[in-house]
Structure 1
Amino acid sequence: MTARVDHLVTSGTFSLDGGTWDVDNNVWIVGDDTEAIVVDAAHDADAILAALGGRTLRAIVCTHAHNDHIDAAPALAAATGAPVLLHPDDLPLWKQTHPDRAPDGELADGQTITVAGTSLTVLHTPGHAPGAVCLHAPELSTVFTGDTLFQGGPGATGRSFSHFPTIIDSIRDRLLGLPPETVVRTGHGDSTTVGAEAPHLQEWVDRGH
């Protein structure tokens, strides 16, 4: 059976640099009827468990360690036995939310995660956060971008641990060269495609400076 992508929206808060905001997060489940991985365990472990529907959870992959993307990860891991995977450059952010519980494994650029016969390649895309990653699944014509690339532009870089020129480099060098029909499944809001976003890179650069 071919892997599919299931989508769940959970709600909670994002907190950084002394501010807190209400947010809706996309949780992506990639797998088949027997096994899956979760991309970003946001806010509600029980809702994610229900969406898994008894499938074996192979991994909880964190696109980055802002609290709204990882707050439910330990509870989901405890309920399923699945490891939490994070790029080590985001450990300082992780520790702000979970000081007493480390991730179970590291993500590295070029690493391949396989679930339900489908491979997802880890792309290190710093800028929104130092350890931000995207996951490219060519067989699904999909890239999971977390908060690196949205419909309409790059993720925010106005807070600690973020850097605008770096996110632009990440998007240009790692994402916009993917096939234009690749669906961009984001951390918040609507999906888009690489082809829809690629022509606007210079606009984002001009807007960001």
Structure 2
Amino acid sequence: MTYTGDVQVGGPADVRELPALTICKLAVGPYDNNAYLLSCSETEESLLIDAAADSDRLLALMAERPAGAIVTTHQHGDHWQALEQVVKVTGAQVLAHPLDAPALPVPVDRTVEHGDTITFGAITLEVIHLRGHTPGSIALLYDGGPAGSHLFTGDSLFPGGVGNTWKDPERFTQLYTDVVERVFDRLPDETWVYPGHGKDTTLGVERPALPQWKTRGW
């Protein structure tokens, strides 16, 4: 079946099979968050992005490929409600940016900053710090070579705009600048974007609207 990224709370995960990486996207309540289980095809080692909620469903998703690490994209509570329980069951390491790590409900085993890499199995993810939604918001980039670039953006980039900066001009300018310089100026249009809520998009779909985002200020 063709991956679309369209998932519903309570519904099944949508699965994307790349040559070296399997991506499982699951929507969890009560805030319609997306959680992503990434699994190395060679070793079956896995990593979870945002243990947002519904620990039972996340653990069921990981039944065959338990995550050895969990990355929390930022400090907001809707992205870590299931973190404590999933860590308790799996013993997974917890990773986050140092500016947001203190707000998490469990100790962070490793802090990661802009340009750092995270490896599981034969897969390497690059950390991209996108400041503005929170001080320590991060995105994770998988460069799949011929399989394309895949970017997990948390709440920093969505279809139709950057993340919420609460009408704070400084925070918006910071986030917009980071997203342009660290994402759009660097990555190709085909880059697939997996956000923290809602549907997926690509940089090519969003790129023409960048001037409009800057003008409107959100």
TM above 0.5, one fold? yes
Deviation readout 1:48-81 (Å, 9 max, x if unpaired): 1101123131210011010000111111111111
Confirm whether residue 8 of structure 1 aligns to residue 23 of structure 2: no
Q: Is the 8 A contact 2:101 2:111 kept in 1?
A: no
Q: Is the 8 A contact 2:40 2:123 kept in 1?
A: no
Residue 196 of structure 2 aligns with which residue? 187
- Secondary structure of 1:164's counterpart equals helix
Deviation readout 1:122-171 (Å, 9 max, x if unpaired): 011111110000000011520000000000111111189x8111110111
Q: Is the 8 A contact 1:3 1:117 kept in 2?
A: no
- Between the aligned residues of both structures, percent identity stands at 38
Residue 132 of structure 2 aligns with which residue? 127
- Structure 1 length normalisation: TM-score? 0.86
| Equivalent runs, 1:111-122 vs 2, <5 Å | 111-122=116-127
Match of 1:146 among 126, 131, 154: 154
Match of 2:55 among 45, 56, 77: 45
Q: Is the 8 A contact 2:94 2:109 kept in 1?
A: yes
Q: Is the 8 A contact 1:122 1:135 kept in 2?
A: yes
- Secondary structure of 1:89's counterpart equals coil
Distance 2:22 2:59 in 1: 17
- Structure 2 length normalisation: TM-score? 0.83
Deviation readout 1:55-111 (Å, 9 max, x if unpaired): 13121001101000011111111111111111011135x15xx3xx32222111111
Letter in structure 1 aligned against 2:55: A
Give the aligned length: 193
Q: CA deviation at 1:30?
A: 0.6
Runs of 4+ in 1 over 3 A off after TM superposition: none
Distance 1:183 1:115 in 2: 20
After superposition, the CA RMSD in angstroms is 1.8
Letter in structure 2 aligned against 1:179: P
Letter in structure 1 aligned against 2:115: G
Distance 2:21 2:63 in 1: 15
User: Any stretches of 5+ residues in structure 1 without a counterpart?
Assistant: 13-22
Q: Is the 8 A contact 2:69 2:92 kept in 1?
A: yes
Distance 1:77 1:86 in 2: 14
Residue 17 of structure 1 aligns with which residue? none
| Equivalent runs, 1:164-175 vs 2, <5 Å | 164-175=172-183
Letter in structure 1 aligned against 2:204: G
Aligned CA distance change for structure 1 residues 29 and 106 (closer, same or farther; 3 Å)? same
Q: Is the 8 A contact 1:86 1:106 kept in 2?
A: yes
Letter in structure 1 aligned against 2:80: I
Q: Is the 8 A contact 1:3 1:116 kept in 2?
A: no
Distance 2:24 2:193 in 1: 14
Letter in structure 2 aligned against 1:7: K
